[in-house]
Structure 1
Amino acid sequence: MNDRTMKAVLFDRFGGPEVLYVGRVPRPEAAPGEVLVRVHAFSVNGADPATRSGTYRLLTGRRFPQGVGLDFTGEVAALGTGAAGVAVGDRVWGIVGRASGFGSAAEYVAVPADRVGLVPEGLDLIAAAALPIATTAVTALRDKAALRPGERLLVRGAAGGVGSTAVQLGTAYGAEVTGLARAANLDFVRALGARHAVDHRSVAPADLGSYDVVLDTAGTGLRAFRRLLKPGGRMVTITPDPKRLLASLGYIAASTVHGRRRVRAFSGNPRRGDFDTVARLVSEGKLSPAVDTVFPLEETAAAHRALEAGGVRGKYLVRVVEG
């Protein structure tokens, strides 16, 4: 097999999980300032089905084939000129940029050196793939919401990828955490550190009480959850409503200038310092990977189906390396 190509998960048209297949594409090279990483595993995030189905076609375009995958763990295989802070053989985790080509669902990725961090010693590289997305929770709670000890934090989607890390982080930051999840996942959410776990299907938002910070991972019903904020409260959402994309983006934008209870939104773009924060929290025992199921690369479509079916506990991971 030509060693200048690699396996990658691709799709040639927008659609359901069935459009995904494992094909071969040119293996990337590390440009100046980049590192080439041999990928061990990646996770399936909410943005992946949206990309695959065409919801984000205005951003991704219509040129095919396209790839999926946002985060990854692996080993540094090569350094581009001027790449600093890591060495060949280092165990790293990171998130690919928007111009990364085929995404992280591949045998290799080339990314800027400052977009990866070192995986803590003793943490398995496969399980570690559940944690690069924790940088989103760090940015949301530490930077955007400035969560303080003793404050009341509500996490929507508390059993999911970002939500499960947010519950752990909120607890580590000294907040009183309430997690919303399916009834079957409430014990799981409590085990993550939530003081309260509530079935989101059985309680209307208006009956949830008031909060200093609301972290939204769903993008739906933002107006109703915004009303739960105390004076001076902060709401952070990590995604617009995929079914009402333009209207949702418009509401988020309007909320940043009208009213005291503003909705903060951001697009995750972590750098090494963010990954170092996650590594420190892992080393201190305040954050750990929550892994639901690990799929082989050839079953990435099954991982997409599982995520879209709902009910995930932590992350669905895909193993790229053999064995």
Structure 2
Amino acid sequence: MDQPTLDLSVDAAALTAQLVDFRSESGDEKALADAIESELRMLPHLTVDRDGNAIVARTDLGRTERVLLAGHIDTVPIAHNVPSRLDAHGVLWGCGTSDMKSGVAVQLRVAATVPEPNRDLTFVFYDNEEVAAELNGLKRLAENHPDWLTADFAVLLEPTDTKVEGGCQGTLRARVETTGRRAHSARSWLGENAIHKAAPVLARLAAYEPRNVDIDGLTYREGLNAVMVDGGHAGNVIPDSCAVTVNFRFAPDRSEEEALAHVQEVFEGYTVVLTDSAPGALPGLSDPAAAAFVEAIGTEPAPKYGWTDVARFSGLGVPAVNYGPGDPKLAHTREEHVATAAVLEAENKLRAWLTS
């Protein structure tokens, strides 16, 4: 197969196909990062920097406001869905079409075709979003070059079906542990069954009533659910340990510490061991830059159910929203696809917002 190329003179839909044809599974983004860097360095109105396989390009026109457009260039492992395929209905199929090479294509087109925007622009293309958080290229940039990410407002071009989604939920996982005494199952009265002791944990989850929280006119629904039960040693042994792993998706008005305290309160009397957590992000739609963006896009904003890297921008004090072409429900599927009309819509709306 010939090495794919990038041509920023084509529209965002055609550019999406070119991006998809670059294999860029997490950890293997170098070829695509090289191509993006090469194309951006040919644009005289941009200053380009690189950290690993993350590329940052900026205008410096002295505008009173700076907007950051961000997207990750990696994909999940390819599932026999590369190269891209355009069908007769204007639908582009292939790995990353929705998550999120169509959003990256929109970024690149804006970078190439808006040399004098009404706001200064920063474009961030980063690696390793689809894997462990410690490998995330945006996290690395925030640690190594926080000045590169300075902005008044950020748009993360994750797939949202071309709707504005504000902020994101936080997420926490913890093990709720029980202990017992091991015994032979033929003499079960000599033991204490730790799995049986977990029954009240499940009962509390079944009875749990999650909050609905209104923030900036958006309603965030929380959820606390068992996602895994771990216990048992053999088919003839009374288990002496059991753990129910719970996942708490919490509204962004809670901090990680407050979320953990809430889970500990729900499971008072049990050992609760935190395994991982990530903060949510407030929508920030009352910020003037965010409000102007929502007005320019022209759709009713919605809350983001799930976690995205807008939380990293929130941690840097930068209001951020999610907005991009593609259906998030198609992300990571073998049938991943995007309507080319949606890609062109996102390209045109962003260009209009930045030039009006």
Q: TM-score, normalised by structure 1?
A: 0.26
Normalising by structure 2, what TM-score?
0.24
Please say which structure displays the higher CA radius of gyration.
2
